[in-house]
Structure 1
Amino acid sequence: MKALWLCGITVAVAMSLAGCSDEPVGSQDEAEGFTLLQHDETTLEARYGAGGASVRMLVVETESKVVEVTYDFGAPVIGFHIDFNQGVGRFNPSGEPLDAAQSALMGPLLEGLSKAVPVEEAQRTRVEDAAMRQTSFMQIVPVGEALSPYEFVSERGWTHISCTCGNQYIGSGYYRTAGRGCGCTGGSGNGCKGRCGQGCGITSTPACVGTTAYTQDCAKHDYGLGSFSAASDDYTFASNNCSCSGVGTCY
């Protein structure tokens, strides 16, 4: 457990070092929009700023199949330690609660990332896939609530649901409309209910970003029947059971 915390501290230090450059202090932080700062086999760093709020994301594969992901808002800083060898992850928040302006940065950041990495998940590096998955997860982290660290384990498993939109069992005694499609809203919010990733609206046709995994825990969260933490392992580890038809189409 101590090793997990040390890894989180390491990422925080790496984030600070990554910000050092010959540019005038504050020049990057004041920029609006999406900026890809570094992108190679083991590191992906990007920033998004809007309306005075900004976030810097750093994803580093520190050793084989061990990835550190950090979202630095200044305050808070939210990190993930993901060990794919052990199938274990840890959510490491620090500082103040996430506010609405900071949470709103996640969608545009995800869109920027989706243009910088391959559309097909199978073609992505581990850091690219982790960046997409964890940024998708960051969209459901509660706003205005004190966040506590916790561990999530892939071996506890997840249960896929059908890709076809319809009334289906989503666990814990609940039946709800879920499955692919921008029109698969179940009368409640965005479409693509049950998807462990960004939803989609009836009138929008967003890029296929995040994962194409549809699971019971993600569906329960979409309907307010399950916690964001219960969906952590689904977002991070669940295999993609539904295909993605590409950019500009409902999924």
Structure 2
Amino acid sequence: MHNLIPVLASLGASALVFLGACSSGSSAEPDPATKATGLTLETLTATAVEGTFEDGAAPLRFKSVERAPRQADVTVVAGQTELTMRLDYDRGEGEFDAKSGQLNQAQVGAMLRLMTALAGAVPSEDTTATKALGSTLNFYSVARPDEALPTFKFVAENGWAYIQCRCHFQDAEGYHNWMGVGESCGTSASPHCPGRCGVGCGPDNLGPLGRWGSGKYTADCAKHDYGVGSWAAASDDYIFASANCPGGI
């Protein structure tokens, strides 16, 4: 949970027409003018989503492809850094590799804005490709900037420990602090909702970000928020955990 403010995407009439056609899995080439706040969707089918996001100093290119049923490859390019995520939802396994590249602060922030724009631009019923892309961007949006990104594998069957939604002093697998959601919770580093596996402290399970970035509160996400747990250790929580908290600030 980092205290960033989402910027909601707005769609023009031409974009709405295009999205209606693609929601059925059409492979037709999109209109080049189809954009939503810097977002250009070049491909949107039942098994793939690809495009660009022009975000000032931090443009991004992205591609997510369902390579087999419930398996997806996600690639996001930010400047000279190419981040790849291979996900298998049936096995609950993932692999991340950025070849020791890193993201600057502007690029980390752009991940959230791209996720928000996509949430308003792709059909509300996720495919494997859109779910994988959205969850991956949610995870990238809390990467520590200007640090070499590690290569790692993660397995969901290792499990995640949910924490309680209500703000109070909690045990996060041996780490004790104020966690959960509430105006008096957290510190200046993680205000109002430490433990939230997503950016910001807005309403959970509501609006566009409810799809990929809110409603889940876990021990590893809390430790990441307080700087005592690694980004990699929280990866399965961000990618695979389901929502356990319906409220929000």
What is the TM-score of this pair, normalised by structure 1?
Answer: 0.75
Which residue identity is paired with 2:71? V
Aligned-pair CA distance for 1:242? 1.9
2: CA distance between counterparts of 1:199 and 1:157? 24
1: CA distance between counterparts of 2:196 and 2:168? 13
Structure 1 vs Structure 2 CA RMSD: 3.0
Give the equivalent residue in structure 2 for 1:228: 231
Aligned-pair CA distance for 1:214? 1.1
2: CA distance between counterparts of 1:134 and 1:191? 24
1: CA distance between counterparts of 2:218 and 2:100? 31
Higher relative contact order (CA 8 A, sep 6+): 2
Aligned-pair CA distance for 1:35? 2.3
Aligned-pair CA distance for 1:201? 6.7
Give the equivalent residue in structure 2 for 1:164: 166
Q: Deviations over 1:128-170 (max 9, x none)?
A: 2222211110012222122231100111111011122222111
Determine helix, strand or coil for the equivalent of 2:65. Answer: strand
Which residue identity is paired with 1:116? A
Give matches, 1:11-160, under 5 Å.
Answer: 33-94=38-99, 96-117=101-122, 123-160=125-162
Which residue identity is paired with 2:47? T
Aligned-pair CA distance for 1:241? 1.5
Q: Is the contact made by 1:82 and 1:88 (CA closer than 8 Å) also made in structure 2?
A: yes
Aligned-pair CA distance for 1:50? 2.2
- Which sits farther off after the overlay, 102-111 or 34-43? 34-43
Q: Is the contact made by 2:43 and 2:51 (CA closer than 8 Å) also made in structure 1?
A: yes
Equivalent of 1:216 in 214, 219, 236: 219
Which residue identity is paired with 1:187? T
- Which sits farther off after the overlay, 46-55 or 73-82? 46-55
Give the equivalent residue in structure 2 for 1:176: 177
Which residue identity is paired with 1:242? C
Which residue identity is paired with 1:235? Y
Gap change, CA 1:176 and 1:46, over 3 Å in 2: farther
Q: Is the contact made by 2:49 and 2:129 (CA closer than 8 Å) also made in structure 1?
A: yes
Unpaired runs of 5+ residues, structure 2, are 1-29
2: CA distance between counterparts of 1:74 and 1:208? 25
2: CA distance between counterparts of 1:140 and 1:159? 19
Gap change, CA 1:194 and 1:184, over 3 Å in 2: farther
Determine helix, strand or coil for the equivalent of 2:147. Answer: coil
Q: Is the contact made by 1:48 and 1:108 (CA closer than 8 Å) also made in structure 2?
A: no
Runs of 4+ that moved beyond 4 A: none
Q: Percent identity?
A: 37
Q: Do residues 237 (structure 1) and 240 (structure 2) align?
A: yes
Give the equivalent residue in structure 2 for 1:199: 200
Gap change, CA 1:97 and 1:68, over 3 Å in 2: same
Which residue identity is paired with 1:146? A
2: CA distance between counterparts of 1:179 and 1:40? 37
What is the TM-score of this pair, normalised by structure 2?
Answer: 0.75
Aligned residues: 215
2: CA distance between counterparts of 1:32 and 1:125? 22
